[in-house]
C-alpha cells in the first residue's frame, strides 16, 4: 500500500469497521469495539485506538479520514472524535459525521430515500440525495430505539421478570443466562455500555425466532419502529426504505413482514454500512 491512503470508518455502539484504501484500490480492514462519545470520554476512545487500530496501520500514510459514528450528533461530540483522531493521524484531513449520514450515503448514494439503522440502537432519516432533510429524533435505549437489539432485549427482560414469557422459553433462557434482578439492574444502571448489554440477548431471540412468543416480540418492536419513526416522514410510502445493521440483517424476514403490513417498500438491507461507504467515497 502507498503513502496516500483514505481511511473510512463506520462506528456503532458495539463495533467499528475501519477500511484503509490506497490509490490502487487495495484495501485493508480492521474491526475494533464500538466508539460512542456519549458513553466514552477521550481517554477511553484513545485507548481503543491504541490497542485495536494503531498496531495494524501506518498513521503517517493516511491523508484522508471519513469517520461516521454513533453519538456524533452534535458539533461537540464530533469534535471529541476529531481531536482523538488528529493526535494519531497528523497528516490527515478528517471529516467526522453522524452514523446516520453514513447509513444514508451507504444505502442511498446520491438518490433520495429513507435510511434506517437497526443494530444495538436504532435511528432513521429522510435523505434527499445530498443530505439528511428529515429526522425523527432517536431517544436512545431508555426512551426509544424501537426495532433495535437494545429495545428487544429490554422487552425480553421485562417479560421475564414479570412472568409473561412462556415456560419453555424461560427454561431455555435460564440455562443460558440465569439472570437475577440484581445482576440486570447492575448491568443497566452501574456498568458501562448498558445498551450493548441489552442488545446482547439478540442471539437468543434469533435462535428462538420460530417460537410464537419470540416472533411476536420481534414483530412488535419492528411495528413500533415503523409506526413511531418511518411513518412520520413525508411520502414514506412512495419512496424506498433501506436498512443497515445487524438486527435488520439477521431478522430480515420478520422485518420485511412488518414493513409489508405498514405499506412500506423496502430496498437494500446491509449488515454494515462500510461497503456502501467505500463505494460512495471511492467511485
pLDDT > 60? residue 2? no
Task: List the strands of the sheet with 122-127, edge to edge.
Answer: 132-134, 122-127, 113-118, 240-244, 265-270
Looking at residue 275, its pLDDT comes to: 86
User: Tell me: the pLDDT tens digits for 221-257?
Assistant: 999 999 999 999 988 888 999 999 999 999 999 999 9
Indicate the pTM of the whole model. 0.85
Q: Which three cell numbers stand for residue 139?
A: 431517544
DSSP letters for the chain: --S-EEEEEEE-SSEEEEEEE-TT--EEEEEEE---TTT--HHHHHHHIIIIIGGGS-GGGEEEEEEEETT--SHHHHHHHHHHHHHH-TT-EEEEEEHHHHHHHHHHTTS-EEEEEESSSEEEEEE-SSSEEE-PPP-HHHH--TTSHHHHHHHHHHHHHTT-S-HHHHHHHHHHT---HHHHHHHHHTSS-HHHHHHTTHHHHHHTTTSHHHHHHHHHHHHHHHHHTGGGSTTTTSSEEEEESHHHHHTHHHHHHHHHHTT-EEEEEES-SHHHHHHHHH-
Looking at residue 141, its pLDDT comes to: 73
Looking at residue 20, its pLDDT comes to: 92
Q: Where are the domains of the chain?
A: 5-103+274-282
Looking at residue 244, its pLDDT comes to: 94
User: Tell me: the pLDDT tens digits for 104-141?
Assistant: 999 999 999 999 999 989 999 999 999 999 989 887 77
Q: List the one residue out of 270, 281, 274, 282 whose CA is nearest residue 19.
A: 274
CATH superfamily label, 5-103+274-282: ATPase, nucleotide binding domain (3.30.420.40)
User: Tell me: the pLDDT tens digits for 149-194?
Assistant: 999 999 999 999 999 999 999 999 999 998 999 999 999 998 888 8
The whole-angstrom separation of Cα 41 and Cα 97 is 18
The whole-angstrom separation of Cα 11 and Cα 33 is 8
Environment class of residue 163 by beta-carbon count within 10 Å: exposed (0-12), middle (13-18) or buried (19+)? exposed
End-to-end Cα spacing for the chain: 19
Please give the angle made by the CA atoms of 194, 214 and 34, to the nearest 5 degrees.
Answer: 30
Looking at residue 243, its pLDDT comes to: 97
User: Tell me: the pLDDT tens digits for 20-69?
Assistant: 998 888 889 999 988 888 888 899 999 999 999 988 888 888 999 999 99
Environment class of residue 28 by beta-carbon count within 10 Å: exposed (0-12), middle (13-18) or buried (19+)? middle
Question: Is 79:20 a contact under the CB 8 Å cutoff?
Answer: no
Amino acid at each position: 500500500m502507498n503513502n496516500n491512503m483514505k481511511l473510512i470508518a463506520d462506528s456503532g455502539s458495539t463495533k467499528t469497521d475501519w477500511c484503509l484504501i490506497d490509490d490502487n484500490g487495495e484495501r485493508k480492514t480492521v474491526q475494533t469495539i464500538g466508539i460512542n462519545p456519549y458513553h466514552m470520554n477521550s481517554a477511553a476512545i484513545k485507548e481503543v485506538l491504541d490497542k485495536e487500530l494503531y498496531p495494524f496501520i501506518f498513521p503517517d500514510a493516511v491523508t484522508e479520514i471519513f469517520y461516521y459514528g454513533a453519538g456524533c450528533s452534535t458539533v461537540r461530540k464530533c469534535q471529541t472524535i476529531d481531536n482523538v483522531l488528529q493526535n494519531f493521524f497528523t497528516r490527515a484531513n478528517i471529516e467526522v459525521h453522524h452514523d446516520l449520514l453514513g447509513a444514508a450515503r451507504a444505502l442511498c448514494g446520491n438518490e433520495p430515500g429513507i435510511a434506517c439503522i437497526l443494530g444495538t440502537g436504532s435511528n432513521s432519516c429522510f435523505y434527499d440525495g445530498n443530505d439528511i432533510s428529515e429526522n425523527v429524533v432517536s431517544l436512545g435505549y431508555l426512551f426509544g430505539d424501537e426495532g433495535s437489539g437494545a429495545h428487544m432485549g429490554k422487552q425480553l427482560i421485562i417479560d421475564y421478570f414479570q412472568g409473561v414469557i412462556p415456560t419453555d422459553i424461560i427454561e431455555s433462557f435460564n440455562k443460558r443466562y440465569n439472570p437475577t434482578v440484581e445482576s440486570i439492574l447492575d448491568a443497566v444502571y452501574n456498568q458501562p455500555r448498558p445498551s450493548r448489554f441489552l442488545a446482547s440477548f439478540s442471539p437468543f431471540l434469533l435462535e428462538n425466532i420460530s417460537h410464537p412468543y419470540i416472533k411476536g416480540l420481534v414483530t412488535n418492536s419492528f411495528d413500533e419502529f415503523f409506526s413511531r419513526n418511518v411513518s412520520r416522514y413525508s411520502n414514506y410510502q412512495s419512496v424506498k426504505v433501506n436498512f443497515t445493521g445487524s438486527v435488520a440483517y439477521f431478522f430480515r424476514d420478520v422485518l420485511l413482514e412488518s414493513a409489508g403490513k405498514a405499506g412500506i417498500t423496502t430496498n437494500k438491507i446491509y449488515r454494515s454500512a462500510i461497503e456502501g461507504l467505500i463505494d460512495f467515497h471511492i467511485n
